[in-house]
Structure 1
Amino acid sequence: MASIVSSTGLGSGIDINGLVTQLVEAEQKPVTARLDKKEAGIQAKVTAFGTFKSALADFRSSLSGLTSLNQFKQVSATSSNEDMLTVSAASNADLGNYKVEVKQLAQSHALASSGTYKTANDPVGTGTLTIKFGTYTTASGASGTTTTFTQNAEKGSLTLNIDGTNNTLAGIRDAINKANAGVSAAILFNGTGYQLVLNSADSGAKNAMQITGIDALQYTGGTVAGDAAIQTQTAEDALLNINGLPVSSASNTVSNVLKGVTFKLLKAEDPNSKTLIDVGITKGSSDDTSKALEAFTKAYNDLLSTIKEVASYDAEAKKAGPLLGDPAVQGAMSMVRSLLTQPIPGLTGSVRSLVDIGLKTSADGTVSLDSSKLSKALESNRDEVAALFSVIGRASDSGVQYVDANPETQPGSYGVEVTRAATQGTLKGGGALSLSVGTPLVISAGVNDSFSINVDGAVSGTIKLTAGNYTDSQSLLTEIQSRINGDESLRKVGLSVTASLDEGNHLLITSKSFGSASKVSMGSSNATLGLDSSAMATDGTDIAGTIGGLAAEGKGQQLSAIGGAATGLKVLIEDNSVGLRGSVVFSRGLMERLNKALGSILGSTGSVAARSAGMQKDLDQITEDRTKLADRMEKFQARLLKQFTAMDSLVGQLQSTGSYLSQQLKNLPYSGNSN
């Protein structure tokens, strides 16, 4: 508002400045008071709403401790002698007590080059260095002791060309390590000279090395005369007894004997000494779950306390909270209460709601936890308690595995049916193979020892077989499979195959992957093996079936629901059985439902944001009203000043005229009757 320029009225003597100020203030004061009161009320609501929003966010944060399945089924395993072995257990472990005796540790095969070299750059020899993996078996007979090497078909063979560019100790070491094919090489200084030492990457009796092609490194376990390499450590399996039952393992980490239990063997025990293993529910895990639930109930009660503070009516003080009756507050709390009291959709067991695990609601709306009832629920069925809180899918068929779901997947029980099992891509040789002692299959170097194939879209390099007379199918199939799987191009992208013979003795090369992406086709031919124009490639097929009675999308061995309430549900079929495969019960759990609901309330488009925006709009309107009031008062002041100034001028003129007339009258000559 502009300041008043004039001061005391010159014409009238009236304090126009003070009078106009008082008149403007009298006009402005009630409007300003009304705006101040309205703004104070809105600001009180803004502050209260901020407190409410913070309490909602804190309650949402309390959900995090109850979202993990591991929170409800914490399994632990203990060893009575951790110098001998340690043990760990996953949440799906079979519970129980076990007596374990470690009789022998697994170890990897180790070899050293014969002789001692003056430097690491001394030449060793040239040729085609071949390293195969397998098992050495020694047998005694009438003709003496013989050692037989049986190749491990699951391990790829390594073939390296050693020539004048890499025939030194260092060159061979680098070539082996660069291949990254299951064997490591190093150079050792023994005090007088240097030796090349080789170690199989994997322990176990089936992973012993056979080395041929370089005389100084040759090792065949006595199967071929002229072995020069020195065996410094034999390849051995771990041997142990579990509750009296013998168990062998290629590794000292044993994880495939008891479901969910992993042993790490550290030392072979003394005879008749046994380590006691206890696999059970983690001590105190029920207390941890109780603490998480107590934190959850406290956060909810704190939220109620905040609501009582900002959105209730105090009858004693006869005062209403700033958010009493606020629709955003009422809507949010109605949603939360509903989710806390409703059974979880999809659950059919004895635990379906919070009431079933001991959550009680008092008359004032606060909740409390019956720890005794919770403990009983955890002891009797932890899986059902876990399902109450967490997203989970449970398959009734052991050959069906729940994989995943998406936000659109609805809770429920969905039947699974496989109408077509997934298959693997194959390449079938055109001619039958006949092998016997009398008529061996002859592989000759440079004649019929090579071919190439394509696996799942990847192209192999040239695959060369070991030359020789193959008198039995198993040795030939092992050679073919290990050579393909040892191919660098395929190995780098993680692809592998199996080699077998069909009923008609045709060579069958099968990709280890499943589905329409599983393909094996011929590259360069090898007529001896039937890999020529008569060979037939058959691509793999994806699984087909239904989930919840509706056709599902198949990819490899995985079925994905693409329609109906189950949409997004994914399961893996681990075998080739077709037909009805039981059902998958899917539930979202309370924590996800609460988190999603609170997320929608607190999100940028939720009711809290909308209500906050509305209150800010009201504050902006008050600011605009104040601006308009100031403009109106400025104009009102200007109008009053103009009017009073005109009045003052008129009064001044009248006073001047009166003074003039009075003066003139005084100057008139006296007249009157002389009589």
Structure 2
Amino acid sequence: MGISSPGIGSGIDVNTIVSKLMQVESAPLADFDKKSASYLAQVSAFGNLSGALGSFQGALSPLTSLSSFQSLSALPSDSSVLSASATTKALPGSYRINVSQVAQAQTLASGGYASTTAAIGLGGSTTINFALGTVSGGTFGLAGTTLGAGVKTGGLTPGALTINGTAIATDGSTRSARLLADAINAKSGTTGVSAKAAATVTSATLFGAAGASSFGTVDTSGGGTYALTVGGVTIASQAAGVAAGAAGSIDAAALDTALTGDTAVTRALADANITVSGTAAAGTLQFTNADGSNINISEAVSGAVTGGIGNSGTANTGSTTTAISSITLESADASPITVGGTNPAAAGLTAGVGGAYLGAGFTPDPDRTAGSIVIDTSNNTLQGIAAAINKGNFGVTASLVSDGATGANATPNHLVLTSTATGASSTMRITLSGTNGNPADPGLVNLLGYDPGGVQNMSQKASALDTLANVNGIAVSSSSSSISGAIAGVSLNVSKTGSTSLTVARDTASLTSSVNSFVKAYNDLNSQIAQLSGYDAATKTGGPLLGDATVRNLQASVRRQLSQQITGLKGNLTSLSQIGISFQKDGTLTLDTGKLNKAITSNFDDIAGLFAAVGKTSDSKINFVSSTSATQAGDYAIDITTLATKGSLTSAAAVPASTVIDSDTTWIVKLNDTATAASTATITLPAGTYTPSQLATQLQSSINGVSGFANAGWSVSATVGTDGKLKLESNRYGAQSNISLVDDTGSSVSSVFGGATSVDGVDVAGTIGGYAASGDGQTLTGAAGAPVAGLKLTVDGDTIGSRGDIGFSQGYAYQLNNLASNFLGSNGYITSRTNGLNQTVKDIGKQKDALSARLVDVEARYRAQYTQLDTLVASLNSTQSYLTQQLAAIAKNG
């Protein structure tokens, strides 16, 4: 193909001509671009509007809740002692709070072991049962032995005893258990330990043994005298010259006469705090001093005397016997006590760290979880036991702690158990039982056996404590560091012991901030609308959305809602103007703070209704929960036809006074069964003999100890009714509430419940405003398509039929929030408008592409046409040149 250069032969500028023609032909492309740019500018503008409306909705969202307007502040004077929060149910006031104890969890530790992986015990299969409950009676501390004999005469030397690192002030005058207890108690504020002296009791064999008297008749006929004193009180005396058996001689019978009834001797002994038991004639005479003071029994003899204590017919040269007692240490918070000093043994104590419950009992708490694990050859190591406990997830966690001891015989490893919950009722009791009639493995018993009312093989490192406080003179307690209910509507979160005042007041600052947030949110939106759809007379330019119907609709809808009074609102306030909010000439809102403050003072509780969705019921047992954008404001009567109930299982007959649960007893529990694995679990009941209340407690704790149930928020209560029947009841209301028990191993379910059948729960049923409503447990929700659609109530109480009414209103923030939702979202007006604009831009693009494609053909046609013209003209020019040459030649030759 040859090279083509249009215009060379003809002189016609074909390229320029075609280019000029194509400029004319392609002129519409620029119009398409202008239209597309205009629509894209509107898309961008709607994006800005959407963002502004989203910000507006975000600012409104928290204002749709009552708590944003009815909050109260709770400010302590000492925030290091506690923090506090108040709900709308709180009452303004001032409170004085003293915290004397902060809740903590119990911690137990085992003795030391050389290895964490070595087998413990013989490997016999042993079930370890954990129960949580409270300790009753008794004390936690150390029981000492009788003070050393040298204390009677020499006292307790300074520095001989320290408690929890504090030296007890003792000296040569500290010669009795009472005086030692006084010295210890003088330091209790520092040590946290108090002491009690045991009663001092004289020897049981001093005046005889086995019923045989060893008090010989006193004989002073040889010229001597005799006097018997007890604790400084003379109980018998005999002058010189009195023969044995003669009138006035002292024998066992005479002593008993002097010590019986209201005598001068008994009155003197009582004044000395000494009581008498037994008789001298029977050889059982003893003297007791309840306060722990020493009792000195002395025979004062002068001259020749026979008879007396342990003496019959032989010379008596006098005697002195001193009875001394012991002390018991008590820890104020049931924590271990450290005993030290240069001679603690003289105080009847052993150096070291220790402590146990003394004379206490244990009561399982039915509201605390219980559980069990099985230890055998597969897991009978510290590591295996700890893993099994943690996997059980029944309120106790296990860890392994090393005390760092080294050496060939070191045993540094300890199993440490901690209750997952705080509170006095989270104290552990750990019992062990064997399987198939075999006893529990003794190695595991030595490791884990712990009963506050019995053997305590583990040592308590921290006791389970409640938080104890005094609020305006009223003692209160809580199982956690939080206290609620002591002050109506106020929750206290305790950090440490101490005193503080608490001021509960209306949080007017938060309310004012919420109102200002509402005004600002509207003004920000209004400003953005003005920028996007307004007209600037100075520049004679309009915003990208000038005259747009969607924007006009939005602006008009917002202003219309703000200008209307709220319907269905029960209270003194129904419009924004009543709290100082009004429109200005430029369309913005302004707030008159003086008017707002006046409204806060006189109508604090009503302000929330201007902004939030409010439902006020006339029946206190029915509560408004929530609503939807479909719920219409108004007053609606409430009628209940069926009350919600819980699923239950009740024994067919009264439970006997004692029920024996065999070893290896496991039952399958189905709770709130919805055919899911989470609804079914296997529980273990510890072997033993149970009273009805004990059996109820054990069942409730065992079922509630199932982690799957706890994670779902499910639990049961177990009670014994006045008819003696045992009842298990789910905490859940409604048709999905149920409970059943099935035999697995050991004692059968029927041995406790007989032929009982379970009863499923029932959903609440009724109408709202005469319109249908659906029930789910205690929740009643208005059906779709009715004015009450989405109106959700919780129904409590025990009355069916008419239950009053509910006044439902939608505040401005709530209404505008719903309005914003109608414009935003995948089906909103703005989204639809934006989608339409984008589609228009696409259509313009298609038209532009079509025109561009057509222009290619037009250009090709032009080029073809002008190329042909160029060729024709070039040919004519060539012919002209040829003819010219020929004519010129002819003329020359002619």
Q: What is the TM-score when the length of structure 2 is the normalising length?
A: 0.61
SS of 1:425's partner is strand
The separation in 2 between residues aligned to 1:595 and 1:37, in whole angstroms, is: 36
The separation in 2 between residues aligned to 1:65 and 1:42, in whole angstroms, is: 34
Structure 1 equivalent of residue 660 of structure 2 = 443
Q: Which amino acid aligns with 1:583?
A: I
The separation in 1 between residues aligned to 2:468 and 2:724, in whole angstroms, is: 38
Task: Answer whether contact 1:158 1:181 (CA < 8 A) is retained.
Answer: yes
Of 177, 187, 197, 2:390 maps to 177
Structure 1 equivalent of residue 474 of structure 2 = 245
Of 833, 841, 848, 1:607 maps to 833
Q: Which amino acid aligns with 1:267?
A: K
Consecutive unaligned residues in structure 2, runs of 5 or more = 140-289, 291-357, 433-444, 674-678
Structure 2 equivalent of residue 585 of structure 1 = 808
- Cα pair distance change 1:528/1:492, threshold 3 Å: same
Of 491, 506, 517, 1:262 maps to 491
The separation in 2 between residues aligned to 1:44 and 1:455, in whole angstroms, is: 64
The separation in 1 between residues aligned to 2:543 and 2:460, in whole angstroms, is: 86
CA apart distance, 1:554: 1.7
Task: Answer whether contact 1:56 1:303 (CA < 8 A) is retained.
Answer: no
The separation in 1 between residues aligned to 2:545 and 2:113, in whole angstroms, is: 90
Identity over aligned residues, as a percent?
A: 28
The separation in 1 between residues aligned to 2:370 and 2:471, in whole angstroms, is: 34
The separation in 2 between residues aligned to 1:591 and 1:505, in whole angstroms, is: 56
- Cα pair distance change 1:202/1:54, threshold 3 Å: closer
- Cα pair distance change 1:529/1:334, threshold 3 Å: same
Across the two proteins, how many residue pairs are aligned to each other? 637
Within-5 A mapping of 1:291-440? 291=517, 293-309=519-535, 314=537, 325-343=547-565, 347=569, 349=571, 352=574, 355-377=577-599, 385-386=607-608, 388-390=610-612, 395=617, 397-406=619-628, 408-435=630-657
Within-5 A mapping of 1:152-163? 152-163=365-376
SS of 2:699's partner is helix
Task: Answer whether contact 1:45 1:323 (CA < 8 A) is retained.
Answer: no
Q: Which amino acid aligns with 2:660?
A: I
SS of 1:199's partner is strand
Q: Which amino acid aligns with 1:454?
A: K
CA apart distance, 1:100: 1.0
- Cα pair distance change 1:387/1:628, threshold 3 Å: farther
- Cα pair distance change 1:147/1:37, threshold 3 Å: closer
Structure 2 equivalent of residue 138 of structure 1 = 137
The separation in 2 between residues aligned to 1:189 and 1:597, in whole angstroms, is: 64
The separation in 1 between residues aligned to 2:90 and 2:581, in whole angstroms, is: 29
The separation in 2 between residues aligned to 1:601 and 1:220, in whole angstroms, is: 66
1:47 aligns with 2:269: no
- Cα pair distance change 1:284/1:511, threshold 3 Å: closer
The separation in 2 between residues aligned to 1:181 and 1:196, in whole angstroms, is: 17
Structure 1 equivalent of residue 7 of structure 2 = 6
Q: Which amino acid aligns with 2:805?
A: G
Q: Which amino acid aligns with 1:133?
A: L
C-alpha distance after superposition, 1:253-294 (max 9, x if no partner):
22343354322222223xxx5433445417466246525632
SS of 1:523's partner is strand
CA apart distance, 1:556: 1.9
Q: Which amino acid aligns with 1:607?
A: R
Structure 2 equivalent of residue 467 of structure 1 = 688
Structure 2 equivalent of residue 542 of structure 1 = 763
SS of 1:221's partner is coil
CA apart distance, 1:101: 1.4
Task: Answer whether contact 2:683 2:702 (CA < 8 A) is retained.
Answer: no
Q: Which amino acid aligns with 2:806?
A: S
Structure 1 equivalent of residue 728 of structure 2 = 509
Task: Answer whether contact 1:332 1:601 (CA < 8 A) is retained.
Answer: no
1:106 aligns with 2:323: no
C-alpha distance after superposition, 1:284-340 (max 9, x if no partner):
66246525632540341242133224xx7x4x7777777654545544544454455
Moved more, 635-644 or 570-579: 635-644
Structure 2 equivalent of residue 61 of structure 1 = 55
1:85 aligns with 2:82: yes
CA apart distance, 1:629: 5.6
Q: Which amino acid aligns with 1:416?
A: I
Task: Answer whether contact 1:463 1:487 (CA < 8 A) is retained.
Answer: no
Task: Answer whether contact 2:508 2:600 (CA < 8 A) is retained.
Answer: no
SS of 1:66's partner is helix
CA apart distance, 1:665: 9.6
Task: Answer whether contact 1:105 1:237 (CA < 8 A) is retained.
Answer: yes
- Cα pair distance change 1:32/1:163, threshold 3 Å: closer
SS of 1:596's partner is helix
- Cα pair distance change 1:279/1:230, threshold 3 Å: farther
- Cα pair distance change 1:93/1:325, threshold 3 Å: same
Task: Answer whether contact 1:415 1:549 (CA < 8 A) is retained.
Answer: yes
Task: Answer whether contact 2:637 2:806 (CA < 8 A) is retained.
Answer: yes
SS of 2:834's partner is helix
Structure 1 equivalent of residue 225 of structure 2 = none
Q: Which amino acid aligns with 1:150?
A: T
SS of 1:589's partner is helix
- Cα pair distance change 1:7/1:336, threshold 3 Å: farther
C-alpha distance after superposition, 1:469-501 (max 9, x if no partner):
63xx32332233334434677667664322223
Q: Which amino acid aligns with 2:483?
A: V
The separation in 2 between residues aligned to 1:193 and 1:667, in whole angstroms, is: 143
Consecutive unaligned residues in structure 1, runs of 5 or more = 10-14, 436-440, 669-675
Structure 1 equivalent of residue 451 of structure 2 = 220
CA apart distance, 1:540: 1.6
- Cα pair distance change 1:530/1:635, threshold 3 Å: same
Task: Answer whether contact 2:565 2:574 (CA < 8 A) is retained.
Answer: yes
The separation in 1 between residues aligned to 2:136 and 2:544, in whole angstroms, is: 87
1:552 aligns with 2:773: yes
> Looking at CA atoms only, which structure, 1 or 2, has the larger radius of gyration?
2
Task: Answer whether contact 2:131 2:428 (CA < 8 A) is retained.
Answer: yes
SS of 1:516's partner is coil
Task: Answer whether contact 1:543 1:554 (CA < 8 A) is retained.
Answer: yes
- Cα pair distance change 1:346/1:634, threshold 3 Å: farther
C-alpha distance after superposition, 1:72-92 (max 9, x if no partner):
455443221123222234566
The separation in 2 between residues aligned to 1:494 and 1:329, in whole angstroms, is: 48
The separation in 2 between residues aligned to 1:255 and 1:626, in whole angstroms, is: 77
The separation in 1 between residues aligned to 2:567 and 2:826, in whole angstroms, is: 20
SS of 1:103's partner is strand
Moved more, 485-494 or 55-64: 485-494
Task: Answer whether contact 1:395 1:582 (CA < 8 A) is retained.
Answer: yes
Moved more, 589-598 or 47-56: 47-56
C-alpha distance after superposition, 1:378-417 (max 9, x if no partner):
6655665555555565555443344444554445444433
Q: Which amino acid aligns with 2:520?
A: E
- Cα pair distance change 1:642/1:379, threshold 3 Å: farther
Task: Answer whether contact 1:48 1:322 (CA < 8 A) is retained.
Answer: yes
Q: Which amino acid aligns with 2:44?
A: G
SS of 1:293's partner is helix
Task: Answer whether contact 1:290 1:374 (CA < 8 A) is retained.
Answer: no
C-alpha distance after superposition, 1:328-356 (max 9, x if no partner):
55445444544554456665555555555
The separation in 1 between residues aligned to 2:587 and 2:709, in whole angstroms, is: 65
Structure 1 equivalent of residue 670 of structure 2 = 454
The separation in 2 between residues aligned to 1:528 and 1:655, in whole angstroms, is: 130
Q: What is the TM-score when the length of structure 1 is the normalising length?
A: 0.78
Structure 2 equivalent of residue 567 of structure 1 = 789
Task: Answer whether contact 1:156 1:483 (CA < 8 A) is retained.
Answer: yes
CA apart distance, 1:179: 1.9
Structure 2 equivalent of residue 12 of structure 1 = none
1:519 aligns with 2:738: yes
Task: Answer whether contact 2:46 2:834 (CA < 8 A) is retained.
Answer: no
SS of 1:267's partner is coil
C-alpha distance after superposition, 1:108-159 (max 9, x if no partner):
334444x65555547368754333222222279xxx9964432212223333
Task: Answer whether contact 1:84 1:266 (CA < 8 A) is retained.
Answer: yes
C-alpha distance after superposition, 1:161-194 (max 9, x if no partner):
4445555555444433332211233455566745
